[in-house]
Chains A and B, each alone.
Chain A
């Protein structure tokens, strides 16, 4: 019928136009949404980079405005103005997109130098992205947001410094001990450490161990040294003499860390670091000798069933002995019982006579680290106190050094494998002091093992990985302390 045909005319045009409109709308929506995703992807990458750059800056220098400046620069560098037509929102200027705050472990606000345990970098950035096709619907732009967070966590550093007799050797006319003291004091002023959130403590050791400065904050602005601070003052009295009881020193640092957090097993709120500086092999062991009393001897503990704990060390080339532990040191070592015998021991008249009281070295030291046996670093047989021969032979000395190295290695492993504290150990070897002394010669392999350095023969990536540093003599110690600080900083920034 002519009328219907006339009505059909133009229908295809209308349908095509409608389909075209709908298709354009869908295609435009797709294009605009894809553009928004593209902008957001770029913006998120820029925010992430800005946060990380700010944290990297904080690990080198805790100055918050400087970190804010650097982070903002990275933000704008990675998201150039006008990228796909995007513009910063007036309500969220780029200059204030990045903020840094002091926080506690639970995320709440913290106070610098006291409750703060970390610095949190937060990036909140927003841009207005232009829309192209959706303008048909009156929508000219859409806001795109990105946020990122990164944290510079606090550090708990225990400086463990060897004050054994060999550190008294002169290097360029100055005792190695003095070099160490000066360089450790300079270390306190390195800008990598953040007084707002970091803490430091000091242990020095020879045959005995001395916790000479309990853990405290740096007591000075970043990058400066407070010559009245606890650690600085304690270092000023750093003297050298005696043996090298490395295992006890590590245990002392460990105990101090646990005490700082409120006891063993308490979760830490900082990254835990031990820096061990030593110039020789360990040659001191603290153990309970009660089970090794010779048959027929009337020597024994003061109380029935009690321990007879003490430090065995090589005091002079011809004099070995179980050295009683001074009460102050005992307290510092977490209540380690003193040698308290019943007054019938041969060593009471002369500590070098201890071999007359005991049969051999115990199997483990007082902290449970194996002294001898196949599982140890140097699988040496136990040192026997046979006959009436004092321990003064080279073979005895080497064996005792090996046994001492075993417990030091065991102590370091125990610290690293503490799944709560996860302590990272950095070791610094100071050469040039102990050459020629078979009982004290420096052992780089032991220090690599203790640090779990990547060069260690027992390197284990699942444990905290430290690093080993070598100073050819004490005058190079400053450079090695700086290297340790840089290494710690680099690790924190990752």
Chain B
């Protein structure tokens, strides 16, 4: 036979359970799930930028539909990378991920193709390809990437720099003459100037820079790799 005292206790247990659950267990579980998901996603994004960066450095041309399909269909499928649609190198507008592939070149002052050119001694952006949701770049406190380089100076088909009139062959001249593609001195500036030169000792080095922006309910994850 239940006493009135037990009935009263049953109610207080309910209240205690709600209080403890609401103020402690539920937030704790939510926190654990959130942190866990974020760590897992971070690891996936780290692996993604490492893999893509090495492929990019080895000459895989991600401006082509086939190689972008390789990204969206296999390498970055797990993180939900969406294709660019018709904008092959400027990025699309949907999906949780944006991958920015940038190729930087150091214009050696002794480079025979330079010979006192405007960009002598500078690091320039030779190429930029954006795959995925370009709207994520620079949002949610993530770095702006190479957004400071005007898109007008990059060819919308190949991603290579080009002169304003587009008449001069890209890559062969614009990196020497187009001051708009200069990159401000940054942490990797030293890396570039220290890279070995070619056989003649006068053509600067190139680095391949891959950045990934991943956004989901847990927030923005930004990772990068330099090859």
Chain A contact residues, CB within 8 Å of chain B: 5, 12, 16, 20, 23-24, 27, 30-31, 34-35, 37-38, 41-42, 45, 48-49, 52-53, 57, 60-61, 63, 66-67, 69-70, 73-74, 77-78, 190-192, 223, 482, 485-486, 494
Q: Is A70 a contact partner of B50 (Cβ separation < 8 A)?
A: no
Report 16 cross-chain contacts, Cβ distance below 8 Å, ordered by A residue: A12-B16, A23-B28, A31-B32, A34-B35, A34-B36, A35-B39, A38-B46, A45-B47, A48-B50, A49-B50, A70-B191, A70-B195, A73-B194, A77-B191, A190-B199, A191-B201
The interface on chain B, measured as residues whose beta carbon lies within 8 A of the other chain's beta carbons, has a size of 38
- Say what secondary structure dominates the interface of chain B: helix
Identify B198's interface contact among A31, A60, A494, CB under 8 A: A60
Chain B residues positioned under 8 Å from A38 (CB to CB) = 39, 42-43, 46
Residues of chain B lying within 8 A (CB to CB) of residue A49? 50, 53-54, 225-227
Q: Does B217 contact A (CB under 8 A)?
A: no
Number of residue pairs A-B, CB distance < 8 angstroms: 92
Contact A45 B50, CB 8 Å, known A31-B35, A37-B43, A78-B225: yes
Cβ–Cβ contact A41 & B226, under 8 A: no
Footprint of A on B, CB under 8 Å?
5, 13, 16, 20, 24, 28, 31-32, 35-36, 39-40, 42-43, 46-47, 49-50, 53-54, 57-59, 187-188, 190-191, 194-201, 225-227
Q: Complex: how many Å from CA A361 to CA B49?
A: 60
Asked if B227 and A57 make an inter-chain contact with CB atoms under 8 angstroms apart, the answer reads no
Query: What 5 A-B pairs are tightest by C-beta distance, nearest first?
Result: A34-B39, A45-B50, A190-B199, A60-B196, A61-B196
CB contact under 8 A between A41 and B43, given known A53-B227, A73-B191:
yes
A63 contacts across to B, CB distance below 8 A: 196
Query: A12, A27, A45, A191: which contacts B225 (Cβ < 8 A)?
Result: A45
B28 partner residues in chain A, CB cutoff 8 A: 23-24, 27
Q: Which residues of B contact A190 (CB under 8 A)?
A: 199
Partner among B32, B47, B199, B226 whose Cβ is within 8 Å of the Cβ of A74:
B226
Q: Is the CB of B58 within 8 A of A494?
A: yes
A37 touches B196 (CB 8 A): no
Known: A77-B226, A482-B198. 13 other contacts (CB 8 A): A37-B43, A38-B39, A38-B42, A41-B46, A42-B46, A49-B225, A57-B195, A67-B196, A73-B194, A77-B191, A78-B226, A223-B201, A486-B198
- Report Cα–Cα, A66/B201, bound state, in Å: 14
The answer to whether B199 and A52 touch across the interface, beta carbons within 8 angstroms, is: no
CB-CB under 8 A from A42, the residues of chain B are 46
Instruction: State the Cβ distance, B34 to closest chain A Cβ, in Å.
Output: 11
The verdict on A66 contacting B198 (CB below 8 Å), with A45-B46, A49-B53 known, is no
